[in-house]
C-alpha cells in the first residue's frame, strides 16, 4: 500500500478537489497520509488568487526536494490553478517535480502517476472535452465530519479584470443535477448533515436535465427533499446572477441557511466599471434590499479589493459608504495585486503605502461591524451543528445557521448533533453559549 500526501491551498473548491484526487488514487493502491515524510506521492493543490501565489509554491517545492534526496522513489506533483497558469515553467524551474496537472484534468492522475513511476515526467494542463466528474470514481473516503463540500459548477464567464479564474478554470460548466443529487445522497448516507454547494460562480448554475432547466434554486429545492440532509449552503456568488427565484428560496426553503457570501469588490461605480463587474453599487444595494426583505435575519459576507488601478480617494470613500449601508457580519478584504494574463495586469498601480492605509481603514470598519453584529447575538437562541472538540476539556465547537463558530461545554454533545444554544458571550471571532 502506497501513501499520498495532499497539501491544499486556497478556496473550498480546492478542498473538494483534493478529496477527489485522493479518491481517484485509491483504486491504484494509495491511501492518504498526513505526513510528508512517509509519503510516496506528494501533491500540492494550488491556488492562483492570492498575492505571489506561484512564488509560494516554488518555495514549498524547494523544501520538498530535500525529501526527494532522502527518498529517490518519492514523486512530487503540482495541481490546481498555479499548475494551469505556469504549466511547463514549473518543471523547468524545479526539476524535482514529476507531474503537473490542471484543475480540469485531475481525473487523469492515476495514468499520470503510472507514467512518472516508469521514470518519465507528465504534464496535463489541457481543457479536456470530457467532463472530469464523469470519469472520477465515487468519493471513497469515510466521513468523520458532519459537513461536506460539493462542487456543482466550475469556471466563470464574467472576466473581471483582476481575476485569473476564466483562464485557469475555464468557462462556466454546470454538473448534471442527477449526479449532484446522487453524490449528496451518498454523503448523507455516510453521516453528512450539512452540504455547501460550491462554484466559482455558483449562482450561475444552469443545467437542462430530462427536459427541465435546473437553476441553483431548483437544485436546492431538490436537495432539500433528502430527508436526513438538515442544512444547505452555497458559495461563491456573483450579484448579476442573484435571480428572484434564488432570493425566494432564501425566504421559503427551511434547509437553506440564512448566510450569504456575495462579493461586491468595490463601492465605486468608476472602479466597478474598470473591474468589468457589469453592475453598479446601487444595483448591489437593490439586490441586498430584496434579500433582506425575503430573509430579514440574513447574515451577509463580502469580498473587497482596495487599491485597484485608478482608484481615487473618492472611489475608496464610496466603498466605505457602501459597507456602512450594507453592514457585513463577515468579510474578506485584500490589497490589489496584479495577476499575469489578466486585463488589469499591465495597468499602472497606485502606491503600496496608499493601498496599505486604505486596507487598514477598511478592515477596521469591517471588524467593527462584525463585532457589533456578534454582540447582538448575545441572549439569542441559535441552532448549532457541532463538529469537533474545542481546546478546553469537555468543549465542543460547531457552526450556527449564520456560520458563526460557537463554543459550548457539555459532556453529552456529539459530532453531528444540532442543538439549540443560547449565546452568552461574544469573543474575537466566535461566540460561546449553553445548550437550552
- Distance (Å, rounded) from C-alpha 305 to C-alpha 86? 24
Is the pLDDT at 29 greater than 70, yes or no? yes
CATH topology (fold) of 381-435: OB fold (Dihydrolipoamide Acetyltransferase, E2P) (2.40.50)
Residue 91 CA, distance from chain mean position:
27
* 134-169 core/surface letters (b: 16 or more CB in 10 A; e: else): eeeeebeeebeebbbbbbbbbbbebebbbbbbbbbb
Neighbours of 310 (CB within 10 A): 17
Least confident of 36-45, 95-104, 129-138: 129-138
Exposure of 403 in the CB half-sphere (CA atoms within 13 A): 21
Structure confidence at residue 51 (pLDDT)? 62
Helices (H), 253-340: 269-275, 281-294, 313-326
Residues carrying CATH 2.40.50.140, the chain = 381-435
Q: What is the pLDDT of residues 262-287, one digit of tens each?
A: 999 999 999 999 999 999 999 999 99
Q: What is the pLDDT of residues 132-186, one digit of tens each?
A: 666 666 655 555 799 999 999 999 999 999 998 898 888 899 999 999 999 999 9
- Average confidence score pLDDT of the chain: 92
- Distance (Å, rounded) from C-alpha 132 to C-alpha 209? 18
pLDDT band at 48 (very low <50, low <70, confident <90, very high): confident
In the numeric block, which cell numbers belong to residue 73? 522513489
Residues carrying CATH 3.40.50.12160, the chain = 2-124
- Distance (Å, rounded) from C-alpha 403 to C-alpha 256? 12
- Distance (Å, rounded) from C-alpha 349 to C-alpha 357? 15
pLDDT band at 222 (very low <50, low <70, confident <90, very high): very high
Pair type for strands 122-124 and 99-101: parallel
In the numeric block, which cell numbers belong to residue 71? 527518498
Q: What is the pLDDT of residues 276-326, one digit of tens each?
A: 999 999 999 999 999 999 999 999 999 999 999 999 999 999 999 999 999
Q: What is the pLDDT of residues 385-400, one digit of tens each?
A: 999 998 888 899 999 9
Structure confidence at residue 351 (pLDDT)? 97
Superfamily of domain 132-375: tm_1862 like domain (3.80.30.20)
The answer to whether residues 21 and 203 touch, using CB atoms and an 8 Å cutoff, is no
> What predicted TM-score, i.e. pTM, was given to this entire model?
0.88
CATH topology (fold) of 2-124: Rossmann fold (3.40.50)
In the numeric block, which cell numbers belong to residue 371? 463585532
Structure confidence at residue 432 (pLDDT)? 97
In the numeric block, which cell numbers belong to residue 376? 447582538
Amino acid at each position: 500500500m502506497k501513501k499520498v500526501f495532499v497539501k491544499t491551498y486556497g478556496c473550498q473548491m480546492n478542498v473538494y478537489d483534493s478529496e477527489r484526487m485522493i479518491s481517484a488514487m485509491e483504486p491504484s493502491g494509495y491511501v492518504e497520509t498526513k505526513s510528508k515524510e512517509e509519503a510516496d506521492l506528494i501533491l500540492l493543490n494550488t491556488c492562483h488568487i492570492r498575492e505571489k501565489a506561484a512564488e509560494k509554491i516554488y518555495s514549498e517545492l524547494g523544501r520538498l526536494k530535500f525529501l526527494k534526496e532522502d527518498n529517490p522513489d518519492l514523486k512530487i506533483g503540482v495541481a490546481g490553478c498555479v499548475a494551469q497558469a505556469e504549466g511547463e515553467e514549473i518543471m523547468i524551474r524545479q526539476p524535482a517535480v514529476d507531474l503537473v496537472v490542471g484543475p480540469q484534468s485531475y481525473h487523469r492522475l492515476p495514468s499520470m502517476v503510472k507514467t512518472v513511476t516508469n521514470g518519465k515526467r507528465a504534464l496535463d494542463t489541457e481543457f479536456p472535452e470530457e467532463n472530469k466528474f464523469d470519469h472520477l470514481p465515487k468519493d471513497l473516503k469515510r466521513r468523520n465530519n458532519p459537513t461536506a463540500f460539493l462542487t456543482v459548477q466550475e469556471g466563470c464567464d464574467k472576466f473581471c479584470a483582476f481575476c485569473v479564474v476564466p483562464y485557469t478554470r475555464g468557462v462556466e460548466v454546470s454538473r448534471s443535477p442527477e449526479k449532484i443529487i446522487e453524490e449528496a445522497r451518498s454523503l448523507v448516507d455516510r453521516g453528512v448533515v450539512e452540504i455547501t454547494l460550491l462554484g466559482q460562480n455558483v449562482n450561475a448554475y444552469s443545467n437542462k436535465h430530462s427536459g427541465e432547466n435546473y437553476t441553483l434554486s431548483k437544485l436546492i429545492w431538490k436537495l432539500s427533499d433528502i430527508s436526513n440532509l438538515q442544512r444547505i449552503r452555497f458559495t461563491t456568488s456573483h450579484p448579476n446572477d442573484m435571480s428572484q427565484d434564488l432570493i425566494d428560496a432564501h425566504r421559503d426553503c427551511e434547509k437553506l441557511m440564512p448566510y450569504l457570501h456575495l462579493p461586491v469588490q468595490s463601492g465605486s461605480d468608476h472602479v466597478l466599471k474598470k473591474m468589468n463587474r457589469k453592475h453598479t453599487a446601487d444595483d448591489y444595494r437593490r439586490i441586498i434590499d430584496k434579500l433582506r426583505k425575503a430573509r430579514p435575519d440574513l447574515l451577509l459576507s463580502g469580498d473587497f479589493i482596495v487599491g485597484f488601478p485608478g482608484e481615487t480617494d473618492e472611489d475608496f470613500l464610496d466603498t466605505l459608504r457602501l459597507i456602512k449601508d450594507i453592514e457585513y457580519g463577515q468579510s474578506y478584504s485584500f490589497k490589489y495585486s496584479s495577476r499575469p494574463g489578466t486585463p488589469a495586469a499591465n495597468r499602472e498601480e497606485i502606491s503600496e503605502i496608499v493601498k496599505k492605509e486604505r486596507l487598514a481603514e477598511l478592515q477596521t470598519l469591517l471588524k467593527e461591524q462584525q463585532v457589533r453584529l456578534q454582540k447582538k447575538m448575545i441572549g439569542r437562541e441559535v441552532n448549532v451543528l457541532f463538529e469537533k472538540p474545542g481546546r478546553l476539556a469537555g468543549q465542543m465547537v460547531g457552526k450556527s445557521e449564520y456560520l458563526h463558530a460557537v463554543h459550548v461545554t457539555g459532556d453529552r454533545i456529539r459530532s453531528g448533533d444540532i442543538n439549540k444554544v443560547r449565546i452568552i458571550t461574544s469573543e474575537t471571532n466566535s461566540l460561546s453559549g449553553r445548550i437550552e
